[in-house]
Structure 1
Amino acid sequence: MIKVGEYNLLKVLREVDFGVYLDDGGEGILLPKRFVPANTKPGDEIKVFIYHDSEGRLIATTQQPLGVLGDIVKLRAVTVTPQGAFLDFGLMKDLFVPKSQQLVGMRPNGEYLVKIYLDEQTGRIAATERIEQDLGNDQLTVKELDVVDLIVFRRTDIGYLMIINNQHTGVLHFNEIYRTIGEGDKFKGFIKKIYPADNKIDVAAGKPGYARVEDETEKIIRLLKENNGFLPYHDKSDPEAIYEFFGMSKKTFKMTTGNLYRQKKITFEDGGIRLS
């Protein structure tokens, strides 16, 4: 069964001058010649993205779109018409956002956070800004300390409302933010706390506890080696300076360097840390 708006692994049926046809259980789906991998022959299986061309026909591509069905992504508007807007999707054909699926109207070159969905009437993929209606915490699929995918949704008085695994929402509090972030940014995080009374969630960036330390240990050792065995950072260093250089919070930096010190891999000096 062909999945529109997703990647499919399909077998090559036959070659033609303008490409190859892939097995869809019928006459086949065209993969245009410019997207056919070198030395492809009938019987080979190719991973392709399936969507509709401008004439409404299913077509395959080996190009990688900026998102697939169900994804929430930030895309740039290239054309705006009375019927809707077209977003740069990373493919030859742009992604359509009907006027009814826009919040306040789109403008050319504006960037918008949208969800990719399948239009029930046309069977084509489209996009909507009406994301919040598909998010909810009534039935949670996560638990505390789970590592999750986060997307910045919008700024609030206490931090940023985050989209969790394209399903739930949670708050990343200002005191958990160590770099500049904005709407649509994506990064890994974890579930810091779930409030049972209403299933509200607090999240944090990175990985929980000492799992972070394990990831950052090699980074600090590498940076020390790249800087002649010494780095001018310590527990009194400015948190922003630490984040700018190491890409980690000051708390993680202190945990990691403390762990390295106990392993006798580094020593502490007045002006920083030194490789043992």
Structure 2
Amino acid sequence: MIKYGEYNHLKVNREVDFGAYLIDEDTKQEVLIPKRYIPENTQVGDELEVFVYFDSEDRLIATTDTPKAQVGEFAYLKVVAVSRVGAFLNWGLTKDLLLPYREQKRKVYTGSHYLVRIYVDDKTNRIVATTKVGRYLEDAVLDELELGQEVDIIVCDRNHMGYQVIINKKFLGLLYENEVFRKLEPGEKTKAYIRKIRWDDFKVDVRLQRDGFEQVDDASGKILKALQENDGYLALSDKSDPEQIKARLQMSKKVFKKAIGGLYKERKIVIEEGGIKLS
């Protein structure tokens, strides 16, 4: 069965002037892929990975373009227009994604980004978005995530506690303000690590640095690189202000002290009164 709003692996069944028809071999259902989306040298019988959705005329079509998210995933998307039926979001495809008024937690504005979940509306059978994401928090976090695990995150809105983030496009998380040691931009994609899983509400806390010695190893490498780029000397020590260390090396003072202690024991640096230098 062809799943719309998702990726499908379909075979090229027949060619036409304006593209080709792909087929699901189990159900024999066909879907058109317009000519502009067909990879070069594609032949009848080849299998393609395509995203299937409805075009501007509500026809089911396939594309090799990559959307920013698919059905069942969270995304941080920009409003490009507002009309009488709702707002339209840029999700990376030719046809924008509808965010109906009934699915808006609060009023949205053109040009602003919002955290949404993409789903298929049972009543209209359309692919739409919602900002009412709370109902989609899942206990699947218990099976798919574990403490210390490396994950992909998308940075969303900032609040009094820190940054709301999307984890692996499937889960919502929080990155606390005191865990951030560099500037973050909304929409930025980066790596993070699972810090805590809250079993009561299925929310997840993340951090940008690894725990323990892995984190110190990363910090040690960053310090050595900074020393090499600064003629072998940094005016930072265990007595430096934490904000000064954060601004220069994007790490906490605690991690910095552990790292320079290790580098000193390995005789890679010399610790002086006002700073450190390469041995």
C-alpha contact 2:137 2:202 (8 A) present in aligned 1? no
Q: In structure 1, what is the Cα distance between the partners aligned to 2:203 and 2:124?
A: 37
Q: CA deviation at 1:101?
A: 0.2
In the aligned structure 2, how far is the partner of 1:260 from the partner of 1:219? 12
Using the size of structure 1 for normalisation, the TM-score is 0.79
How many percent of aligned residue pairs carry the same amino acid?
47
TM-superposition CA deviations, 1:6-32 (whole Å, max 9, x none): 223333333333333333233632332
* Counterparts of 1:17 and 1:157, CA distance in 2: 56
What number of residue pairs does the alignment pair up? 276
Q: Cα RMSD between the aligned structures?
A: 3.5
Give the deviation of 1:177 after TM superposition. Answer: 3.3
* Contact persistence 2:14–2:22 (CA under 8 A): yes
Which has the higher mean CA deviation after the structures are superposed, 255-264 or 147-156?
A: 147-156
Deviation digits for residues 55-83 of structure 1, max 9, x if unmatched? 22222222221222222222111111121
Q: 1:266 aligns with which of 251, 266, 269?
A: 269
Partner of 1:11: 11
Residue 137 to residue 49, structure 1, CA distance change in 2 (3 Å): closer
Q: 1:5 to 1:197 in 2, by over 3 A?
A: closer
Aligned to 2:23: 23
SS of residue in 1 equivalent to 2:8: strand
Deviation string for 1:136-165 (max 9, x for gaps)? 679844554444555666656555566666
Instruction: Tell me the amino acid that sits aligned with residue 204 of structure 1.
Output: R
Partner of 2:101: 99
Matched residue type, 2:68: L
**Structure 2 residue runs without a partner (length 5+):** none
- Aligned partner of 1:176 among 179, 182, 186: 179
Aligned residue for 2:267, secondary structure, equals coil
Q: Does 1:89 align with 2:94?
A: no
Letter aligned with residue 57 of structure 1: R
Q: Is the 8 A contact 1:22 1:28 kept in 2?
A: yes
Q: 1:118 to 1:198 in 2, by over 3 A?
A: closer
Q: Quote the Cα distance in structure 2 between the aligned partners of 1:35 and 1:171.
A: 38
Residue 215 of structure 2 is matched in structure 1 by 212
Paired residues for 1:1-276 under 5 Å: 1-25=1-25, 26=28, 28-135=30-137, 140-141=142-143, 142-148=145-151, 158-159=161-162, 172-181=175-184, 187-193=190-196, 203-276=206-279
Give unmatched runs, 5+ long, in structure 1: none
CA distance in 2, matches of 1:92, 1:200: 33
| 1:102-143 Cα distance to aligned partner (Å, 9 max, x none) | 022222212211111122234332110001122267984455
Secondary structure in 2 matching 1:63: coil
Q: Work out the CA distance in 2 between the residues paired with 1:44 and 1:272.
A: 63
